[in-house]
Amino acid sequence: MKVFGKSKALIAEIDTYLQVIQKSGLLFYEAIKEYLEHKQDLFENRVIEIRKVEQEADQLRRDIKHKLYSYLLIPESRGDVLALLETLDDVVDVADKIIQNFSIERPVIPESFNDDFLQMAKYSVKSVEALIQACKAYFNNISAVNDHINTVFFFEHEVDVVEERIKRNVFRSEEITKFSRKVHVRYFAEKMALLSDTAESVCDRLSVFAIKREV
């Protein structure tokens, strides 16, 4: 992370922050998997874990913000890094909110839809992982940022494809007889897509920050 020179404590803290963001994605996948497998106790433990990760991310972000203004960084880099960290925090928040909604509303997902919901979760996590790699590249290898951003866009599109398939199939399904249940499953497919959408939004800002650093 050359932009920070010898600020080793800050470098270590930002790296930890990125790891926490990535961990939220992994926990998100495991939570969805356990929910679909009806492992309710394990799922509820994941709900607690993700909430703790969200709190950890918030604390790290505040600490980093304090250090950013304590070190002698050029104003434009400092502002961009802070903005990046704040938008990254949205990833954890969205993962937490989606899992909280599953915990509160307990949607009944027919087994025939399990593979698609799990696929959405898998692609969502891949988009988050690619986002983290893009952020690391921003600090270490600016020329590689766009490669990772394109990977995020790819997996975000794949999530959209599966989301549409679920929505089409649910309203054609004879297995789900009540319209309210069809709407509920559709609603949670849309909720699931928010994680990759958020990763894409962060990348939109990151690409601008990367251009500014290359100029």
Counting the structural domains of the chain, the total is 1
Alpha helices (runs of H) in 37-74, residue ranges in sequence order: 40-68
> Which tops the pLDDT comparison, 114 or 64?
114
CB 152, CB 131: distance < 8 Å = yes
Residue 72 has pLDDT above 70, yes or no: no
Residue 2 has pLDDT above 90, yes or no: no
What residue type is 19 in one-letter code? Q
CA distance 130 to 141: 14
- Specify the pTM: 0.91
CB 29, CB 125: distance < 8 Å = yes
For the segment 16-20, the average pLDDT, to the nearest whole number, is 95
Q: Note the pLDDT tens digit of each residue in 152-193.
A: 999 999 999 999 999 999 999 989 999 999 999 999 999 999
Domain with 111 in it = 2-214
- Torsion sign across C-alpha atoms 73, 79, 85, 88: negative
What percentage of the chain reaches a pLDDT higher than 70?
93
CATH number for the domain that contains residue 197: 1.20.58.220
CA distance 154 to 149: 9
CA distance 112 to 118: 11
Residue 4 has pLDDT above 90, yes or no: no
What percentage of the chain reaches a pLDDT higher than 90?
75
Contacts of residue 4, defined as CB under 8 A and 6 or more positions apart, other chains included, come to 10, 11, 71, 73, 139
Instruction: Give the 3-state secondary structure of residue 215.
Output: coil
CA distance 147 to 133: 10
b/e for 22-46, b at 16 or more Cβ within 10 A? bbbbebbbbbbbbbbeeeeeebeeb
Average pLDDT, the chain: 91
